[in-house]
Structure 1
Amino acid sequence: MTDGNDWDATEYDRDHAFVAQYGRDLLELLAPEPGERILDIGCGTGHLTAAIADRGAEVVGIDAAPEMVEQARAAHPDCTFRQADIREYDPDRPFDAVFSNAALHWIPGPDHDAVLSTVADALSPDGRFVAEFGGHGNVAAITDALESALADRGYERSHPWYFPSVGAYAPRVESHGLELRLVRLFDRPTELDDGEAGLRNWIGMFGDEFFAGVDPTERETVLDTVEDRLRPRLFDGESWTADYRRLRLLARPYADDTRPGRPVE
């Protein structure tokens, strides 16, 4: 996890466990093997890092948020965790795979070339990059309602995340020497924990930047307005469902003789 959010790692584990739970499906695409060396970008509190290690791989989890790294080390003392920003990370030797779940959308769009450059440099020649993060249209209903409710009170805001389309992101991946073997944008409606309080808690965990500079007395009014606007669409009477859309990819380094643009002899 990175830019701009104030993380409560304990609350994250308690009220937002679905993040790691959905990520276990991505582990099947990663398919870690015993003895492999794997980098987990944006490891959060380390549950998927530990799941990778349980399959016999040597895994390093990195996260830019010190609160997350501290919690991960306490929960999984046998795993290796480091506080690090992937845009500046310089591993001492290559990895067989680089993995990331629900983290890369926290990094601003202009910085993703630095991310992809680091990934490409970190991979062994036959390595693989497996990632999933928010894609184009992710939580659009929620962000639109937040931005509108804040604008009604004179606060101009836009969401802080990078949610690219396949068409926007695929060329960026391939420009760093990584051949896309799989790329998919898909809807994944996600039921939030905590019943009636689920949406408010989700915004409290992930949406700090919306409320920067907002008078505290207006915050609850804004949240009430957002709930009222979204209730017909996202609340079933018992729980809230966030309108998630995910971008999933698998890429591998190009062999020198297969990379597009190589002159024909």
Structure 2
Amino acid sequence: MASVHVWKSELYDSKLGYVSQFGRGVIDLLNPAEGERILDLGCGTGDLAYELTKAGADVTGMDLSGEMIGKAAAKYPEIPFVAGNAEDFAFGEPFDAVFSNAALHWMKNAEKVISCVWDSLKPGGRFIAEFGGKGNVDTVIRSIGEVLSGKYGIDSASLNPWYFPSIAEYSTLLERQGFRVVYAVHFDRPTPMEDGENGLSHWLNGLADDFFKEIPASERGPVYDQIADKARSSLFHDGQWVLDYVRLRIAAVKM
């Protein structure tokens, strides 16, 4: 079984809050209605699940991370949050929609995820998602690889925790399952990091630490600095790190 990313919920909320902020645009695509049963798949610390409830939807949040679920339940005790694996889940009662923001790229077995989503939806149910698409954070990944292979002899490709598909790749999987893809866009979204010079380190520590498992935590600071040196000319502008995010936004209907 592949290793599971260890989430730091406090860092996620305090320094990586843009994840939920950008997700509000995906809610517009979902267009939740009062009384709808909606599953927030990969709900993190619950902010978007809470936004969905404002439309009167009956929301359940699910995430693989017990720490994230605990934080979400503490913030929004009125919402049911459950720990679960998106590659292997089932609910007793089907949903009107499954919603996911910035989570599907952590799930490498996309076919299993899509199959579980299909099984959890009512006929005519909607699957609305945004996640990292082909080319996402390429500059950062390349810089990580150069530092780890050059100085430490570490093959970063084998440690990469992400799945960043193209429109064609992901739409094909959806259609093979039986979904009708009604909307798909693959777009650049340069994303500013908080905390100035430290922004890239926060990102590496919170979202990319799978690459650094072979390096003791006490020794990672200099590694982050070397990665920053390689990426700086492309991604550091006017005192701020702006990462090269590329997103895939999809809407599909269960036929």
TM range (shorter): over 0.9
Matches within 5 A, 1:1-265: 4-108=4-108, 111-153=109-151, 154-158=153-157, 159-216=160-217, 218-254=219-255
Please tell me the residue identity of whatever aligns with 1:80. Answer: P
Please tell me the residue identity of whatever aligns with 1:181. Answer: V
The match for 1:259 is: none
The match for 1:257 is: none
TM-score normalized with structure 2 length: 0.95
In structure 2, C-alpha distance between the alignment counterparts of 1:182 and 1:241, rounded to whole Å: 27
After TM superposition, give the deviation of residue 162 of structure 1 in Å: 0.2
In structure 1, C-alpha distance between the alignment counterparts of 2:242 and 2:13, rounded to whole Å: 18
Give per-residue Cα distances to partners, 1:40-66, cap 9 Å, x unaligned: 000000000000011100010000000
In structure 2, C-alpha distance between the alignment counterparts of 1:129 and 1:120, rounded to whole Å: 8
| Structure 1: stretches of 5+ with no match in the other structure | 255-265
In structure 2, C-alpha distance between the alignment counterparts of 1:201 and 1:116, rounded to whole Å: 31
Flag the structure with larger Rg.
1
TM-score normalized with structure 1 length: 0.92
Question: Structure 1 113/227 Cα, relative in aligned 2: closer, same or farther at 3 Å?
Answer: same
Question: Structure 1 13/217 Cα, relative in aligned 2: closer, same or farther at 3 Å?
Answer: closer
Please tell me the residue identity of whatever aligns with 2:118. Answer: A
Aligned to 1:10, the other structure's residue is in SS state helix
After TM superposition, give the deviation of residue 27 of structure 1 in Å: 0.3
CA contact (8 A) 1:13 1:45 kept: yes
The match for 1:261 is: none
CA contact (8 A) 1:64 1:83 kept: yes
* Larger displacement relative to structure 2 (212-221 or 153-162): 212-221
CA contact (8 A) 2:86 2:107 kept: no
CA contact (8 A) 1:126 1:252 kept: yes
Aligned to 1:105, the other structure's residue is in SS state helix
Question: Structure 1 3/64 Cα, relative in aligned 2: closer, same or farther at 3 Å?
Answer: farther
In structure 2, C-alpha distance between the alignment counterparts of 1:27 and 1:191, rounded to whole Å: 21
CA contact (8 A) 1:3 1:106 kept: no
After TM superposition, give the deviation of residue 217 of structure 1 in Å: 6.1
CA contact (8 A) 1:141 1:243 kept: yes
| Structure 2: stretches of 5+ with no match in the other structure | none
CA contact (8 A) 1:46 1:76 kept: yes
After TM superposition, give the deviation of residue 167 of structure 1 in Å: 1.6
Paired-residue identity, %: 41
In structure 2, C-alpha distance between the alignment counterparts of 1:244 and 1:175, rounded to whole Å: 28
Please tell me the residue identity of whatever aligns with 2:207. Answer: F
Any runs of at least 4 consecutive aligned residues in structure 1 with deviations exceeding 6 A, and if so which? none
